[in-house]
A and B are shown apart, each in its own frame.
Chain A
Amino acid sequence: MGAPFAREPGRERPRDWLAEAYLVATIARVADPLGLPVAEFTGYLEAAARGELRRVSGPIDTRAYIDSL
């Protein structure tokens, strides 16, 4: 559970779910990243970190995305 953005030496930090969700939404093009099971959500982040997921479409409407949360 505690993973991607929290891998820093020293004190553990809470995961920034919103920032991670934004990444999953834009890179993996998942419509509702917060509705994913935690393990699947983390799987997308890890795949993105390994370079296995790349955006191929145009820019997304970030304002609409944030408003929809």
Chain B
Amino acid sequence: MIGDAVAIVGGEERRFPPLTVRQVCTLQTVMAERMAAETAADCRALGLDTDETLRRTRTAREDARLSTTLVRSCFTFDGACRILTESVGADRAESMLEGIAPDDLTELALQTVGFEWSADVGKWVRRSRVNPDANGRGIG
């Protein structure tokens, strides 16, 4: 079972459930469209032709869908907040994120996208677990 990422703020426990694959897909789609729109706007500002704009926009969209892009975004304030907002829902995000230090936001975001701190190797490592009772069905 994959546990929640937990932050203690002023003695209060705040839990951030790990993102599901579906939530990660949604997040990556939003990031890809945002990157594509920004790239297209930049290309227009530079006066690039349609073919070049299309090529750069396509590359930006593909890059935004890479797993490493999502992981890197955990290290930015905007990216970490977006990931944690997806975890708890937009309606609860503001109150949940209030008072959490930026460093802690990064750690919480990394945990919700499937990383954990390994004291053995002294770095964040990808975690993977199998839950035999997932969705109430056992392994065949």
A residues bordering B, Cβ < 8 Å?
A: 1-3, 6, 12-15, 17, 21, 27-44, 46-47, 53-57
Task: Knowing A12-B68, A40-B2, A43-B128, say if A35 contacts B136 (CB, 8 Å).
Answer: no
- By the criterion CB–CB under 8 Å, are B2 and A39 in contact? yes
Interface residue tally on B, bucketed by range: 20 to 34
Our pick among B21, B128, B138 for the contact of A17 (Cβ within 8 Å) is B21
Q: State which of B18, B66, B67, B139 has its C-beta within 8 Å of the C-beta of A53.
A: B139
Asked whether A42 and B114 contact (CB < 8 A) given A1-B67, A2-B67, the answer is yes
- Selected contact of B113 from candidates A1, A46, A57, CB within 8 Å: A1
Contact in complex: A39, B139 (CB < 8 Å) = no
Counting from the closest, the 3 A-B pairs by CB-CB distance are A2-B67, A43-B128, A37-B18
Asked if B84 is at the interface (CB within 8 A of a chain A CB), the reply is no
Task: Please give the distance in Å from A55's CB to the nearest CB on chain B.
Answer: 6
A17 adjacent to B25 (CB under 8 Å):
yes
Q: Which residues of B contact A (CB under 8 A)?
A: 1-2, 17-22, 24-25, 28, 62, 65-68, 70-71, 113-115, 126-131, 134-140
Docked pose: A39 CA to B2 CA in angstroms: 7
Let me know if B137 and A30 touch, CB within 8 A.
yes
Question: In the bound complex, do residue B140 and residue A43 qualify as a contact, i.e. CB atoms below 8 Å apart?
Answer: no
Determine if A30 and B135 form an interchain contact, defined as CB atoms under 8 angstroms apart. Answer: yes
A34 touches B114 (CB 8 A): no
Measured between beta carbons, the chain A residues less than 8 angstroms from B22 are 34-35
- Do A57 and B140 touch (CB < 8 A)? yes
* Across-interface contacts of A28 in B (CB, < 8 A): 130, 134, 139-140
User: In the bound complex, do residue A14 and residue B65 qualify as a contact, i.e. CB atoms below 8 Å apart?
Assistant: yes
When the two chains form their complex, are residues A38 and B137 in contact, meaning their CB atoms are under 8 A apart?
no
Residues of A within 8 A of B139 (CB): 28-29, 53
- Min CB distance B47 to A, Å, is 29
